[in-house]
Amino acid sequence: METGSPREAGTAEPADTPDAGTREVNTPVTDIPDTPDTPGTRTVAGEPVWTGLPPGLLRMRRLLLVVWLGLFTLASGVVPALFAGPVWALCALPPLALLVWGWVMLGRNWRSWRYAERADDLLICRGVLWHEETVVPYGRMQLVEVTSGPVERHFGLASVQLHTAAAASDATIPGLDPAEAERLRDRLTELGEARSAGL
């Protein structure tokens, strides 16, 4: 199911300018009224306003893929060619095919990720082949985490992770712009406090 192409949501394409992330930040916020629990909100909004992931994550993943599989392709082409004859350079073909396939898959997977902040809950959609859609009500959030590993930091990315009392419901939004991640964290925490419902 090719749901959630970020183009529909008006987010940037990979080739876009790096400041694309900041531009899309404000779109969902303005659409959601701050008055809690207005009965009309949901029905007026109808379709939730989806936000895709900024292109940085795709860039990072593709770069990692090219670096590692590229090295492997090179090695599997050069080494047999040197020791067993030039025909054996064809050994590089399977890793190369894998690289191309991985390139396409990463793109599809990246496009499948999207999230929407609604009046009372957060929606996260992900996965192409194994599609998963999660709804986490703000009042149920116990903890909102912003994490960023060394590689992610280098690419200027951060992930937001939500925890509820149920371990199974943990929802993560990877590859966000750090500023957007922090904005999301603050907003989720604020909404969580306002609607806190506990267990």
Partner 1 sequence: MTASQEIRPESAPAGVRERRLHPVTPLRRAWAPVAVVIGWAVHDPDQVQRHVTRLTTTTLVAGLAVFLPAAALYGFLTWWVTRFAVTETELRIRTGLLFRRTAHIRLDRVQAIDVTQPLLARLLGVAKLKLDVIGTEDRDELAYLAVGEARALRAELLALAAGFAPQEAHEVGEAPSRELVRVPPRVLAVSLLLTGATWAMLIAATVVPTVLWWATDNLWTVAASSLPLLGAAVASSVGRFVGEYDWTLAESPDGLRIDHGLLDRAHETVPPGRVQAVRIVEPLLWRRLGWVRVELDVAGSSNSLLLPVAPREIAVSVVARVLPGVFVPGPAHLTPPPRRAARRLPVWWRGHGLAVVGGVFAARHGLLKRTLSLVPHAKVQSVRLTQGPWRRALRLADVHVDTGANTTVSARLRDADEAARLLHAQAERSRTGRRDALPDRWMA
Dihedral through CA 84, CA 87, CA 91, CA 97, nearest 10?
170
User: What token pair was written down for 158?
Assistant: 């951060």
Residue 122's identity, in one-letter code, is L
Of 121, 152, 177, 180, the one binding partner 1 (CB under 8 A) is 121
198 touches partner 1 (CB under 8 A): yes
Measured from the CB atom, the residue of 87 and 129 that comes closer to partner 1 is 129
Q: What angle do CA 83, 89, 95 make, to 5 degrees?
A: 120
62 to 101: interface string for partner 1, x by CB under 8 A: ----------------------------------------
**Would you give the binding string for partner 1 spanning residues 124-153, x where CB under 8 A is met?**
-----xxxxxxxxx-xx-x-----------
Applying the rule CB under 8 A, the residues between 35 and 54 that interact with partner 1 are 42
Residue 37, token pair as written in the block: 């629990």
Among 120, 161, 172, 187, binds partner 1 (CB under 8 A): 120
Order of all β-strands in the sheet with 143-147: 143-147, 158-163, 171-176
Residue 149: both structure tokens together: 């590993």
CB contact at 8 A, 146 and 159:
yes
Task: State yes or no: residue 189 binds partner 1 (CB under 8 A).
Answer: no
Q: How far is the CB of 160 from partner 1 (least distance, A)?
A: 15
75: enclosing H helix or E strand: helix 56-84
Q: Which residues bind partner 1 (CB under 8 A)?
A: 1, 42, 120-121, 129-137, 139-140, 142, 164-169, 171, 197-199
